[in-house]
A and B are shown apart, each in its own frame.
Chain A
């Protein structure tokens, strides 16, 4: 206990904090400028100086730790003069352009001068002149307004870990600049914007478009991009979104955002949004009315159900839609269409992995708090770059590294290049084998646990398969890093799930998790991959993760829902597509998904969906899939509707409506309309009614309400009962693939600035990353005789595409990478797949590619 006196008030602290924080705890405000709660104290602005008895100089309250018996004065004649003097110093070179500056109204300097500043200027000399820089597409930089508090630089270095900006020069010539001095060429998280106290860094998205005091509504909601589910505040004026900002301390992200979350929101205002339902007439989609379109859907589905049976109907749900939308969707498919053929693109990664992990280690094994990563001693990253798939989760890994954790990486993870301690990059497509070898090595030292006999047996088999001597440099070091760690986290990306033998990668990671008692995190690039599973949008499980084939569960839901659920498990995503191709599936209902673009072997997918008798797509854009549909139904997007999302750590959060949409309907509402027309009434008048039903029927989300969820700590296992059932027999493991001897292989790149297809409708993200580039290694560039920016034609067995190349030194094998974000040029149209026999995820491996100068 520390007791000190601040302004004659006795303050007691239970842990050591700075004088500034001690004063704040006691309700005494000390003015600051360079201080920021998310950053380490700096002591540069000197505004927070206080008098401390028995100390000769004035002390900065932000840097001085409170000590027992201190007597502190925060306001006095002397201190006032100092603060006035400091503010005068800050103003002498500051352009007094507040009427023009976007920051006016929320400028910390303006507020401080109002309260403590001088009233007249004594400065007669010439002011420093630095022209405002608009050389960056997104960020405007005004170094005349800069007060050199370095909050932006400290944010960029010490929190974001991007280290893209710095202070150039020294003394009064100090100015903030990116390395290039023009474009920032950074991660574009915009967290520098958040901490800039003045108008020195501004977002060009809203510059000169509104004044802070004109905001008429602020809505606290969550982001629509990835599985982290960051909290953000949407600022609205006249029913239109002006700006998206984070709030310090709030949510999973605690005030930080990534480029997609901060800048990617404008897609909802795109002119290309669907405005009315469309119905195919004479082979062409034509504008229609809601009643015509809904009647047609109900009619067609009823007809097919009657003629072919429910199993001829399938549904693809969406990890971009809410729990409520997805719950209504699966209920509709099961109860109304009579089909368990429900799946989502999550099957290509997250859902496939999750299912196998839970089968091996029990439900909830991946329910680990993101913040907990920071406290790990070792973080093992495998199967993708967390800093681009789930950027805010990536920041926790960087922070752990700063705190002294060891970061060990198998495969590529560019965003951790400066943070990793050990990295092993196996030869092309040999990473699954490397992972197994690692598990075998760990078990050889540690033995097996004897707790889960099936896993023990699988691990033993691996020890026999691999010799004691590790086949790759660094693997031994990796092994001992894991063995020596008292607290390990494993961060698993989906790259290794999308392999011909992806199930083996999952088993190996499960084995390591089990042996090391590690915390497991699954990367998730869509906002509701977990929720979608939880509410039953999978072919073999009912809401709450209850297996369909356990009779008691099924009857419970049948009673609750008033009807019957088909007995047989449905088929998975790619089986649905293949079923469509084989005419086993006649009708497909797609909610918020674009399989033609988002699944590998695009031409095949398109062909398969084209051979359906009836295809319904409900979306906010006329996607490649919607284009070939029989009926297209306009839905609502992010910020236009409310609903809950379950993030990758299984935190349930509310996404809230902020503006009114000019057209479209909530997904759950469209579903319930169709359902009603097909003779099954869904009695929901509000989205909240659906959550009430989920809370009633799902043993997992039991007793949850929006009020409870709004508190922000609805975390697994909530009030519910997770199921600990595990499999007792391991599925047969596939053989290792042979050697890959081709020159180059095409693979998927997961970029930081785009996600799926929504981001390409965001002007800001398109400015940051306007077109796809083929990422090739330095060695490949040399072999091909190519330089950055060269145009090339990329050809595979399924097609070809023209893009420019970009050399990426982090690629160490003979893969070339292309993203799947740009219309007509997605990598999936060029890739073929082979279904993983265990997880049913598409294995994308060994896709040979030819690269020619274009």
Chain B
């Protein structure tokens, strides 16, 4: 497949605006500015583009909600808080192709009637911060940003807002709180950000990859774009593959490609020909899949049928040297560390689950612990303020579902048989 999102990134100067322009950059912007904003939205609607952050919400629909709100100004925020462990798909865009994102935001801003954009960038990407700021500066110099873009009377201002190490800020309302200078704790919904978002104004929060698809949609047209990938979720998709594969990395592949295909063809199969034990298909918040379940189509609609979720498309591959209790424990340590503390079940549940798993992994598990883990997870699932707690509970439930014997073995043998393998 022809690469679009990762086009040109082998060029060491790909982040430079001149290189971007040479490769045909900002042409889609000119094209978009030549048509009515509502027609831009129509193209996006026809493309069938869905949000790439994890929820898979139709982008044009989200836009229309914000546009229907009479309040101005409207804010456009790019969610570059790529924090879901296992995910590193946005990073090549941010570091190698920043103008693609800026062009996407400009197109989006024009369509929405938004004149102010912010890129909420995770604090863990200091390089991307420098690169984005440099790119924004260049874009201002070349009049792609400012009060009269390309002389078309269109205004758009953009700046980077650096996060500071909080996974929860990937959740859009927490992200908005964080931009407003507060703790990143999710807000109550409704009202939704499309009506009452940043600074109480209509706000669109779109993922880096989502926004970066826009120039392509404008370039080839929504209709043509919709033919790429799977029917219900068209377009190219970035997958981050990590763990025990021969060729880990970010791959731009059509949406709906089989997970098995990704692992065995694109990523070169299991490292050192070891035995596959488990795959986390969409970042650690998504339920783990055993080897016999990986022949599934990677898109927002098919993955739930396979017992997991597409999430951010972050595939973590584990061979049989990996202890699943240890992985579960590490995941819970993460969730406990990242729980924002607002709601009781997540705040206390992640702590409790983590403590039990820690005990189990160190050989101090007791009879009934597995049932207790499941019950605690049950008391969290669906009761938390935001999906973070659901994710934590889901990890435990799925791990026990597929690897119960390993948990039992820890309790029975009072130790982890794979403790020293990595």
A499 CB, nearest partner CB in chain B, Å: 41
Given that A46-B385, A125-B352 are contacting pairs, would A63 and B183 also be in contact in the complex, using a CB cutoff of 8 Å?
A: no
B385 touches A85 (CB 8 A): no
Pull 7 A–B residue pairs with CB atoms less than 8 Å apart, ordered by A: A86-B344, A86-B345, A86-B379, A92-B351, A169-B341, A170-B341, A172-B348
In the assembly, what is the distance between CA of A45 and CA of B339, in Å?
Answer: 14
Interchain CA distance A122-B382 in the complex, whole Å: 21
Docked complex: B143-187 residues within 8 A CB-CB of A = 166, 183
Within B352-388, the residues touching A (CB, 8 Å) are: 352, 355-356, 359, 366, 372, 378-379, 382-385
B383 near A170: Cβ-Cβ < 8 Å: no
CB of B89 closer than 8 Å to a CB of A:
no
Contact of A89 among B188, B341, B349 (CB under 8 A): B349
Cα A63 to Cα B345 in complex, Å, equals: 17
Find out whether the CB atom of A44 lies under 8 angstroms from the CB atom of B356. Answer: no
Q: Which of A82, A85, A169, A174 has the most CB of B within 10 A?
A: A85
Contact of A171 among B188, B341, B372 (CB under 8 A): B341
- The reply on A245 being an interface residue by CB < 8 A is no
Cα distance, A126 to B359, chains bound together (Å): 11
Residue-wise interface mask of A (29-55) relative to B, using a CB-CB cutoff of 8 A (1 in contact, 0 not):
000000000000111111101000000
Cα of A126 to Cα of B166 in the assembled complex, Å: 26
Contact, CB under 8 Å: A172 / B336: yes
Q: Bits for A346-362, please: 1 = Cβ < 8 Å to B, else 0.
A: 00000000000000000
> Per a CB cutoff under 8 Å, which of A57, A63, A93 touches B348?
A93
CB contacts (< 8 Å) of A81 on chain B: these are 379
Task: List chain B residues, Cβ under 8 A from A58.
Answer: 382-383
- The answer to whether B352 touches A92 (Cβ under 8 A) is yes
Interface status of B322 (Cβ within 8 A of chain A): no
- For chain B, which range describes its interface: under 10, 10 to 19, 20 to 34, or 35 or more residues? 20 to 34
Supplied contacts A44-B344, A172-B339, 12 more A-B pairs, CB within 8 Å: A42-B342, A43-B188, A45-B343, A46-B385, A49-B383, A57-B382, A58-B383, A65-B190, A167-B341, A171-B347, A174-B341, A174-B347
Chain A, interface SS category: loop
Q: How far is the CB of B70 from chain A (nearest CB, A)?
A: 18
Cross-chain contact A125 with B359 (CB below 8 angstroms): yes
Contacts of B206 in A (CB 8 A): none
User: Within the complex, what minimum Cβ distance (angstroms) separates B403 from chain A?
Assistant: 23
Q: Which residues of B contact A92 (CB under 8 A)?
A: 348, 351-352
Whether A171 lies near B382 (C-beta < 8 A) is: no
Chain B neighbourhood of A170, CB < 8 A: 166, 183, 339-341
Instruction: Write the nearest CB–CB distance from B3 to chain A, whole angstroms.
Output: 38
Q: Any chain A CB within 8 A of the CB of B31?
A: no
A173 to B383, CA, bound (A): 21
Query: Are A46 and B343 in contact, with the CB atoms below 8 A?
Result: yes
A317 at the interface (CB under 8 A from B): no
- Nearest CB of chain B from residue A528's CB, rounded to whole Å: 43
Q: Is B406 an interface residue (CB 8 A)?
A: no
State in angstroms the CA–CA spacing of A174 and B350 once bound together.
14
A171 close to B379 (CB less than 8 A): no
Q: Which of A747-778 contact B (CB under 8 A)?
A: none
CA distance in complex: A65, B342 (Å): 20
Please report the C-alpha to C-alpha distance between residue A145 and residue B264 in the assembled complex, in whole angstroms. Answer: 53
Question: Is B337 on the interface with A (CB-CB < 8 A)?
Answer: yes
Q: Cβ of A440 < 8 Å from any Cβ of B?
A: no
- Closest CB-CB distance, A5 to chain B, in whole Å? 21
- The answer to whether B385 touches A89 (Cβ under 8 A) is no
Per the bound structure, the CA–CA distance linking A82 and B341 in Å amounts to 18
Does A148 touch B at the CB level, under 8 Å? yes
Please give me the 7 A-B residue pairs with the lowest Cβ-Cβ distance, nearest first.
Answer: A85-B379, A89-B348, A171-B339, A174-B341, A172-B351, A125-B355, A63-B188
Cα–Cα distance between A41 and B188 once the two chains are bound (Å): 9
Residue of A nearest to B342 (CB): A44
Task: Say yes or no: is A90 at the interface (Cβ < 8 Å to chain B).
Answer: yes
| Chain A nearest Cβ from B163, distance in angstroms | 14
User: A90 contacts which chain B residues (CB < 8 A)?
Assistant: 344, 348
Chain B residues contacting A619 (CB-CB under 8 Å) are: none
A561 CB–B CB distance under 8 Å: no
CB distance from B182 to the nearest CB of A (A): 11
Most buried by B among A85, A93, A147, A172: A172
Question: Is B246 part of the binding interface, using a Cβ–Cβ cutoff of 8 Å?
Answer: no
A88 CB–B CB distance under 8 Å? yes
Q: A745: shortest Cβ distance to chain B, in Å?
A: 39
With A148-B347, A172-B347 in contact, do A85 and B341 touch (Cβ < 8 Å)? no
**Does B338 sit within 8 A of A, measured CB to CB?**
yes
Asked whether, in the complex, the Cβ of A148 is within 8 Å of the Cβ of B341, the reply is yes
- Give the residue of B347, B350, B352, B379 whose beta carbon is less than 8 angstroms from that of A82: B379
Contact status A122-B356, CB under 8 Å:
no
